[in-house]
Structure 1
Amino acid sequence: MKTTIHIIGSGFSSLAASCYLAKAGYDVTIFEKNSTIGGRARQLKRDGFTFDIGPTWYWMPDVFERFFSDFDKRPSDYYTLEKLNPAYSVYFGKDDFITIEDTLEKICIAFEKEEKGSSKKLLKFINQAKSNYDIAIKDLVYNPGLSPFELVTPKTIGKLNQFFSTIKKDVRKEFNNNRLAQILEFPVLFLGAKPSATPSFYSFMNYADFGLGTFHPKKGMYQVILAMEALALSLGVKIKTNSSIDKILVNKAGEAKGLNSNGVNYYSDYVLSGADYHHTETLLDKEFRQYSESYWEAKTFAPSSLLFYVGFDKKLRNVNHHTLFFDVDFGLHAQDIYDNAKWPEDPLFYASFPSITDGSSAPEGKEAGIFLIPLAPGLEDTPKLRETYFNKIIKRFETLTSQKVSDSILFKESYCVNDFIKDYNSYKGNAYGMANTLLQTAFLRPKLKSKKVKNLFFTGQLTVPGPGVPPSLISGKLASELIVKDISTNKKITTRTLKQNENNF
């Protein structure tokens, strides 16, 4: 009889794990609380416009390649990728921006125009970042976070000092130009912490940015979710939507034995949760929870976000597919996220216009716009605040890009702290999980395997390797490998016990 495994949630990590576990021969069922799969990576469709609700950046294509190759597939079997050129642009003032193109050579030219001699420093910096990338993404992040010794390899010994310095220190030591420094500090924001709190080793994100480039899946990031769903279904995975979980069933022996969903018990041999880690533990009786409320309260969480999905009745000018607006003080905004936990007076923001690249995102002659303001998790979230901040960024957007757009808005929909809590049971409404600071790296993150409940495992952005889409794919693989190992160990123990019993007769 097949081992049965129930998975909570259908985001990237859950879908990845389901594929690996089904390939290993197990009976796998995914339970998704929402009406559509994808977790934070769902889609919004309205009036001929299509928006990715969550992730919009496709970085580290090699991680996606590696995932699909584990099943003798390629991303191109499911969706079409386009490398963006330019990758993105960064505004620092009215009609004042730096464009990051699709090759390191072109980026060096842009840096040199901004500051003479900076291209040589950039090449040195990216060479170091590539070295870190080769170690981290091809090796370290595929460890399950069980021991500090996972970080100690012949390749990392010489880089230990990089775990005790920070991205900000390294960048500012080489680059005096504040604009160039901000561009180099930007990629680690995907890891959920300030550059001043992110270890230098994470400069591998700069290689992902400048070395590998930025891509767009035709029809949006949701195509990756649909690809993983198709793969999972082909392997025999079953998916139940509209299936909120009320409780994880634990027997008297302290073993996870299934889930209660919508008042019905569904029994299984193993449970894997890709849902919010903190929320998952609330589905257990207190005696089975590993981490206290004070533990979670003390952790540094990645930001939440205020997002707007906007349909414009015309094509916009002076913007690229991805456009960053760094025209205000980055340090003050960062303090309001990580130190003061309040709504920022003058927020930085990011905008994505997928219809510039992809005609399927908006009707002809119109533009789909996604605007994002990073926020501290746990903030008050009201319709009035949302409207206030929309007006703030749209006025700045109009000034910076020298165009009137407010009278061309067909509709807008917003998404913020309350929605992250409602749709994903997200701790304090965070958007990206737990930040990758020094004390929240690798073995110092919440564990993939429960220490208190047998046969209960976790995956996703609050555990290893951390926040982001590629790490989520890796997290699903790591969790599945631990489950496969656990099943194999239990079978050996059972077989040995049976043989011992037979010898007693």
Structure 2
Amino acid sequence: MKAVVAGGGVGGLITALLMKKNGFHVTIFEKSSKLGGRLSYVKEGEFKIDEGPTIVLLPLMLQSILNEAGISDEEYELISLNPLYKLHFSDGSTYTKYSDFEKQLGELKSNFPGQESGFIRFMKDMDIRFRLGKEQFLEKTFVNRKSFWTRMNVQTLMKLKAYRSVSQSLKPYFTDERLRQAYSLQTLYIGGNPYDSPAMYSLVSYSEHKHGVYYLKGGYAKLAEVLERALLKAGVEIHKNALVQSIESEGIKAKGIHVNGEFHEADYVVLNGDFPSVTHMLEPHIQKKEYIPSSGCLLLYLGLDKIYEEANVHQFYMGADFQKHMKEIFVTKEVPEDPSIYAFHPSVIDPSLAPEGKSVLYALIPVPSGNHIDWDAQSGFIDQIIEKLEEKGFPGLREHIVWKKVKTPNDAKREGLFEGGSFGLAPVLFQSGVFRPQVKPSKLDNVYAAGASIHPGGGIPLVMQGAKMMVDVLMEDVNKQNGVSLNGKVERSVRTM
């Protein structure tokens, strides 16, 4: 059986490996000159740094899926970070997060006395909710949307407080606004507003403590290289600079795809582009829908002539008014006046990213998606960011910069990301779970989808989990067509943790 994968992002690569393992002849068509999608490097001479994702979460899920795809733990190295990261607030106070429970209580006692009991209750409650949410939502697809509306799922939604925002859900646990920020900003990892994203996403901050925060040696983009080697070894055919233009169908069956003006026949088609940007290929077999994009990012990539040894791998510098910053991103959609900043300085533990004695630094500022802002005219804003980094954690930064590159939402949109949003669809309630595009996104029987905008959502481990579930659904469809009896249903669990 022939399968074509339109797009070489991490979802497409995992899909290809798993389908090859199931006996398919698999061909990947990637429009750019490299595989990996958001998993990519920015390079300048001997400097290199991750272009997109940097924070490795849910390590057991990631490792389990890689193992199933034929990649051993020895082919890459995950480094556990402790502390996880440090937050710096505008009033000069700080909060360091740890994976060690007792150490975290000590940090709270020192810097936020009286908040310890709230943290204990938070972890206890989230432990229960994580198990519920994982089983009911992260490990199931909802190809048949009606199958979602069971009494158990509705009860789970209520227990997960899906009707409340992440920020609201933290009020019973933390009375200090700074801690509410510290445990709600994680929605920004997937481009969501903590004052709007449903409370189930508060499980991300819980998972950081419970499962740890990791760094992939060589950078997260190293994973794309590992996957490409595995694909070539497995015999998957790869075509780069190959733009998939359309799907040719007959009735409710796709016959193949058109790539750079040529037709390629296929028994199964998998779409791995940012979903709202590829829906035109599914018309008229899909209902038109308006989607909400995730937030955009202003990204600064810096090469430095020194290493800031006292820095953490990850740190956050919070603006004076976090809620105002979120409003500027998601409501008024303007350049933030006093933004919060995430800084990534992997050279403190990884010397492979820069020449000896030198380093790389990555700064991410959440900004509005869309192309209505002229970022070329925002040099003053970029100077403001560098000044804040210099003041808060990287003294003398300007004089140590030997290389700088800036990436904006306009660049992201040109690369094919929906409305320049960096994380696919925004994680609002009606774009989550059953309401999110599913692994079978249209009425075409043999067309499937994987990626950040497909259930279960964004973040590298979840995209990989979505690809795994997609292949599981596809194989059940194959078995049905071949008259093989099935154990379970299409929405059955796909366990990875």
Q: TM-score, normalised by structure 2?
A: 0.91
Maintained 8 Å contact 1:91/1:327: no
- Structure 1 residues 308-327: aligned runs within 5 Å: 308-316=300-308, 318-327=310-319
2:487 maps to: none
- Structure 1 residues 140-219: aligned runs within 5 Å: 140-146=137-143, 147=145, 149-150=147-148, 152=150, 157=155, 160-161=158-159, 162-219=161-218
Maintained 8 Å contact 1:166/1:200: yes
What secondary structure sits across from 2:399 in the alignment? helix
What secondary structure sits across from 1:174 in the alignment? coil
1:303 maps to: 295
1:463 aligns with 2:454: yes
Query: Relative to structure 1, is the Cα distance of residues 279 and 301 closer, same or farther in structure 2, using a 3 angstrom cutoff?
Result: closer
Q: CA RMSD in A?
A: 2.2
Query: Relative to structure 1, is the Cα distance of residues 151 and 68 closer, same or farther in structure 2, using a 3 angstrom cutoff?
Result: farther
For 1:237, give the aligned amino acid: V
Aligned equivalent of 1:277, options 275, 278, 286: 275
1:131 aligns with 2:122: no
2:11 maps to: 13
State the Cα distance separating 1:136 from its structure 2 match: 2.7
Q: Distance in 1 between matches of 2:477 and 2:374?
A: 46
For 2:468, give the aligned amino acid: K
1:80 maps to: 77
Query: Relative to structure 1, is the Cα distance of residues 104 and 254 closer, same or farther in structure 2, using a 3 angstrom cutoff?
Result: same
For 2:304, give the aligned amino acid: F
Q: Distance in 2 between matches of 1:151 and 1:410?
A: 56
Q: Identify the range of structure 1 (464-473 vs 372-381) with the bigger mean alpha-carbon deviation.
A: 372-381
1:91 aligns with 2:91: no
What secondary structure sits across from 2:104 in the alignment? helix
Query: Relative to structure 1, is the Cα distance of residues 12 and 139 closer, same or farther in structure 2, using a 3 angstrom cutoff?
Result: farther
Q: Distance in 1 between matches of 2:146 and 2:230?
A: 34
State the Cα distance separating 1:305 from its structure 2 match: 0.8
State the Cα distance separating 1:153 from its structure 2 match: 7.1
1:105 aligns with 2:117: no
For 2:81, give the aligned amino acid: L
Maintained 8 Å contact 1:343/1:379: no
1:28 aligns with 2:20: no
Deviations 1:334-385, CA, capped at 9 Å, x for gaps: 1112111222122211110111111111112212011111122113354534
State the Cα distance separating 1:190 from its structure 2 match: 2.3
Q: Identify the range of structure 1 (42-51 vs 309-318) with the bigger mean alpha-carbon deviation.
A: 309-318
State the Cα distance separating 1:101 from its structure 2 match: 2.9
Query: Relative to structure 1, is the Cα distance of residues 376 and 346 closer, same or farther in structure 2, using a 3 angstrom cutoff?
Result: same
State the Cα distance separating 1:27 from its structure 2 match: 0.8
Query: Relative to structure 1, is the Cα distance of residues 364 and 152 closer, same or farther in structure 2, using a 3 angstrom cutoff?
Result: farther
State the Cα distance separating 1:465 from its structure 2 match: 0.3
Q: Distance in 1 between matches of 2:321 and 2:263?
A: 52
Aligned equivalent of 2:420, options 429, 440, 457: 429
Q: Identify the range of structure 1 (65-74 vs 360-369) with the bigger mean alpha-carbon deviation.
A: 65-74
Query: Relative to structure 1, is the Cα distance of residues 110 and 379 closer, same or farther in structure 2, using a 3 angstrom cutoff?
Result: farther
Deviations 1:110-169, CA, capped at 9 Å, x for gaps: 112122231221021012212222233355312112335447575973662422233212
Query: Relative to structure 1, is the Cα distance of residues 156 and 236 closer, same or farther in structure 2, using a 3 angstrom cutoff?
Result: farther
Q: Identify the range of structure 1 (410-419 vs 228-237) with the bigger mean alpha-carbon deviation.
A: 228-237
Maintained 8 Å contact 1:135/1:155: no
Aligned equivalent of 2:474, options 448, 472, 483: 483
Query: Relative to structure 1, is the Cα distance of residues 39 and 71 closer, same or farther in structure 2, using a 3 angstrom cutoff?
Result: closer
Aligned equivalent of 1:357, options 349, 353, 373: 349
1:368 aligns with 2:367: no
Q: Distance in 2 between matches of 1:492 and 1:15?
A: 29
Q: Identify the range of structure 1 (152-161 vs 462-471) with the bigger mean alpha-carbon deviation.
A: 152-161
2:495 maps to: none
Q: Identify the range of structure 1 (315-324 vs 305-314) with the bigger mean alpha-carbon deviation.
A: 315-324
1:246 aligns with 2:226: no
Q: Distance in 2 between matches of 1:431 and 1:386?
A: 19
- Aligned-residue sequence identity (percent) comes to 25
Structure of higher CA gyration radius: 1
- Structure 1 residues 436-447: aligned runs within 5 Å: 436-447=427-438
Query: Relative to structure 1, is the Cα distance of residues 23 and 180 closer, same or farther in structure 2, using a 3 angstrom cutoff?
Result: same
What secondary structure sits across from 2:443 in the alignment? coil
Q: Distance in 1 between matches of 2:125 and 2:146?
A: 23
State the Cα distance separating 1:198 from its structure 2 match: 2.5
State the Cα distance separating 1:59 from its structure 2 match: 0.5
State the Cα distance separating 1:476 from its structure 2 match: 0.6
Q: Distance in 1 between matches of 2:233 and 2:124?
A: 41
For 2:429, give the aligned amino acid: L
Larger helix proportion of the pair: 1
Unaligned runs of 5+ in 2: 485-497
Maintained 8 Å contact 2:70/2:230: no
Q: Distance in 2 between matches of 1:24 and 1:395?
A: 53
2:284 maps to: 287
Unaligned runs of 5+ in 1: 494-505
Q: Identify the range of structure 1 (90-99 vs 21-30) with the bigger mean alpha-carbon deviation.
A: 90-99
Deviations 1:463-503, CA, capped at 9 Å, x for gaps: 1001111110011112212222222223339xxxxxxxxxx
Query: Relative to structure 1, is the Cα distance of residues 355 and 473 closer, same or farther in structure 2, using a 3 angstrom cutoff?
Result: same
Q: Distance in 1 between matches of 2:413 and 2:394?
A: 37
